Amino acid sequence: MTDAADACACASARRPWRIRQCRLFRLIAISLLSACATTSQVPPAPDSPYPSPLSGPGSPDLSRSVAREISEGWSSLVSGDLHEAQSRAAVAGGVAQARLLSSQVLLEQESYAESVMQLRELTEAYPGYASAWATLSRAAEAAGEEAVALEAARKTSSLWPRSRFASRTDELTSKWITERARAAEAALENDSYEIALEQAERVARLDPGRADTSLIRAQALIALSRIDEAEPILADLGGNPDALLLRSSIATNNRDYQHAMDLLSRLPDGDPRKAGALRRSRLQWRLSILPGSVQNALASDSLTRGELAVLLFALAPELENTAGGTTPLMPDVVDLPSQRAILTAARLGLITPDSVDGRFLPDKVAALPTVQRAVETTCRLVGYEAPTWCHDATVVTSDCHQLADPVSGRKLTEMILKLVEESNL
Query: Is the confidence at residue 1, as pLDDT, over 50?
Result: no
Distance CA 108, CA 99 (A): 14
CA 11: distance to chain centroid? 74
> 270, 289, 308 — which closes off a domain?
289
Distance CA 294, CA 212 (A): 40
Query: Is the confidence at residue 292, as pLDDT, over 60?
Result: yes
245 and 310: one domain?
no
* Residue 8 within any structural domain of the chain: yes
* Residue 42 within any structural domain of the chain: no
- Inter-residue contact 315 to 421 (CB < 8 Å): no
Percent of the chain with pLDDT over 70: 87
132 and 201: one domain?
no
The angle formed by the CA atoms of residues 276, 282 and 288, to the nearest 5 degrees, is 135
208 and 226: one domain?
yes
* Residue 92 within any structural domain of the chain: yes
Which of the listed ranges 36-50, 219-233, 289-303 does the model predict with the highest average pLDDT?
219-233
152 and 271: one domain?
no
Q: How many domains does the chain have?
A: 5
Distance CA 150, CA 314 (A): 57
Rounded (10°) CA dihedral 343, 346, 350, 355: 150
pLDDT tier, 9 (very low <50, low <70, confident <90, very high otherwise): very low
Query: Is the confidence at residue 23, as pLDDT, over 80?
Result: no
What is the average per-residue pLDDT within 66-90?
Answer: 95
What is the average per-residue pLDDT within 32-39?
Answer: 40
Residue-wise pLDDT for 332-363, tens only, equals 998 888 999 999 999 999 999 988 888 999 99
Residue-wise pLDDT for 176-209, tens only, equals 999 999 999 999 999 999 999 999 999 999 999 9
372 and 252: one domain?
no
pLDDT tier, 396 (very low <50, low <70, confident <90, very high otherwise): low
Residue 386 has, within 13 A of its CA and on its CB side, a CA count of 11
Distance CA 127, CA 121 (A): 10
What angle do the packed helices 179-189 and 193-206 form, to 10 degrees?
Answer: 160
Which of the listed ranges 249-253, 325-329, 392-396 does the model predict with the highest average pLDDT?
249-253
pLDDT tier, 8 (very low <50, low <70, confident <90, very high otherwise): very low
28 and 94: one domain?
no
* Residue 50 within any structural domain of the chain: no
Residue 34 to residues 65, 345, 376, Cα–Cα distance (Å): 11, 102, 94
Mean pLDDT value across the chain: 88
Write out the residue range of the structural domain in which residue 367 sits. 291-422
342 and 356: one domain?
yes
* Residue 43 within any structural domain of the chain: no
Q: Where are the alpha helices (H) located in 266-329, listed in sequence order?
A: 274-289, 292-299, 305-315
Residue-wise pLDDT for 85-109, tens only, equals 999 999 999 999 999 999 999 999 9
Residue-wise pLDDT for 158-169, tens only, equals 999 999 999 999
pLDDT tier, 414 (very low <50, low <70, confident <90, very high otherwise): very high
pLDDT tier, 422 (very low <50, low <70, confident <90, very high otherwise): confident
418 and 306: one domain?
yes
- Inter-residue contact 403 to 389 (CB < 8 Å): yes
> 272, 289, 306 — which closes off a domain?
289
* Residue 113 within any structural domain of the chain: yes
Q: How many residues does the chain have?
A: 425
The angle formed by the CA atoms of residues 274, 276 and 277, to the nearest 5 degrees, is 65
- Inter-residue contact 251 to 259 (CB < 8 Å): yes
* Residue 58 within any structural domain of the chain: no
Percent of the chain with pLDDT over 90: 75
φ and ψ at residue 385, rounded to 5 degrees? -75, 125
Residue 284 to residues 194, 220, 268, 413, Cα–Cα distance (Å): 31, 25, 22, 10
* Residue 398 within any structural domain of the chain: yes
Among 10-19, 274-283, 416-425, where is mean pLDDT lowest?
10-19
The confidence score (pLDDT) of residue 46 equals: 59
pTM: 0.74
Q: What's the one-letter identity of residue 156?
A: T
Query: Is the confidence at residue 2, as pLDDT, over 50?
Result: no
255 and 332: one domain?
no
The confidence score (pLDDT) of residue 14 equals: 46
The angle formed by the CA atoms of residues 130, 136 and 137, to the nearest 5 degrees, is 95
What is the average per-residue pLDDT within 378-396?
Answer: 80
156 and 73: one domain?
yes
The confidence score (pLDDT) of residue 417 equals: 92
Query: Is the confidence at residue 17, as pLDDT, over 50?
Result: no
> 230, 248, 263 — which closes off a domain?
230
What is the average per-residue pLDDT within 292-298?
Answer: 92
The CATH number of the domain holding residue 125 is: 1.25.40.10
The confidence score (pLDDT) of residue 423 equals: 81
CA 257: distance to chain centroid? 27
pLDDT tier, 392 (very low <50, low <70, confident <90, very high otherwise): low
- Inter-residue contact 69 to 33 (CB < 8 Å): no
The confidence score (pLDDT) of residue 114 equals: 97
Q: Which residues pair with 38 in a beta bridge?
A: 62
199 and 307: one domain?
no
412 and 299: one domain?
yes
